[in-house]
Amino acid sequence: MNTGKISAALIAGMIICGCTDIYNVGSTVSAAGESDAKIGVMPELPDFNLNDVNGTVTVYIPPEIDAQLTITFDSPEGEDFLYYDILANGGAAYAFGIEGTLSDTDRIYTLSILPVSNEGYAAAEAYTEEFTVADPDTVPDSYFVRNFDVKFDYEYDGTSWELTKDDGENKELLFSFRRYAMGDVDLDGKIAASDAALVLSEYAALAANGESVLDKNQKLVADVDSDEKITAFDAAKILEYYADASSGKTPSWE
């Protein structure tokens, strides 16, 4: 996974394309450290050709969250080729140079945006979009542009994201995170004996065959003692918390 490699060639290409707010600052590309910093990302594809770039996809991530940004493509040679893959830190716009093709069928690109909250919880569902960047001329006379402005709240009601603005070139995405609570392993908004039972099921499954029965977010709230393991001790702590809350005491994970 790429966590922020910068391509000097891509930087130069973006400047030529008119993105004058991009310049090299050590190992990153930013606009003087402002919140609207723009970072050019190096492609994963070994035979990427800067001269074929005929488009830019830019994704802005707000400071309070991170996001997994991935672009793959299908072509006549095969499917799901990895083009870009980066865990993007918040507080910047990430620019991806996209190679143009002679026809729409030469490459079908797929962008995936999966935000991760500062608490470590991933959004329930990624936003994905297919697009093509075709220009039949040897000298490009058009330039593909897509700008995504990511926003978020904690009002998840079963819908992970909503496209709140779309004028073709500029899009605004609102992601809704669940309000997770430590110990609420079944994610029903309550801490109860059933959560402890889920932890014991996970512990037994891992001990028996190493296969987890919990998803990533459930694991985060199941590890109540923060030792990076899910054990019977976590289940015991959840039961203790539940008992204290039920008897009118002030519960604590300490």
pLDDT, position 141: 66
How far is Cα 163 from Cα 121, in angstroms, rounded to an integer?
21
171 shares its domain with 202: no
How far is Cα 70 from Cα 51, in angstroms, rounded to an integer?
22
pLDDT tens for residues 212-225? 999 888 998 999 99
Average pLDDT value for residue range 16-21: 35
135 shares its domain with 200: no
The residue behind tokens 């802005």 is 60
Paired tokens of 88: 């993007």
The residue behind tokens 């809350």 is 245
Q: Does the structure show a pLDDT above 70 at 30? A: no
Paired tokens of 72: 């793959």
pLDDT, position 119: 76
Average pLDDT value for residue range 151-155: 91
Given a contact cutoff of 8 angstroms between Cβ atoms, the answer to whether 162 and 173 are in contact is yes
pLDDT, position 142: 78
Q: Domain for residue 253, yes or no?
A: no
Higher-pLDDT residue of 168, 174: 174
Q: Does the structure show a pLDDT above 50 at 109? A: yes
Q: What is the mean pLDDT of the chain?
A: 83
Q: Domain for residue 254, yes or no?
A: no
Q: What is the pTM of this model?
A: 0.69
pLDDT tens for residues 37-54? 789 999 999 899 998 899
Last residue of a domain, one of 148, 176, 204: 176
DSSP string, 7-63: -HHHHHHHHHTT-TT--EETTEE-STT-TTEEEE---S-TT--GGGEEEEEEEEE-T
Determine the structural domain holding residue 114 and report its residue range: 8-176
Q: Does the structure show a pLDDT above 50 at 35? A: no
Higher-pLDDT residue of 139, 246: 246
Total structural domains within the chain: 2
pLDDT, position 216: 82
123 shares its domain with 224: no
- Percent share of the chain, pLDDT over 90: 57
pLDDT tens for residues 228-237? 899 999 999 9
Average pLDDT value for residue range 185-192: 89
220 shares its domain with 157: no
pLDDT, position 224: 92
Higher-pLDDT residue of 163, 123: 163
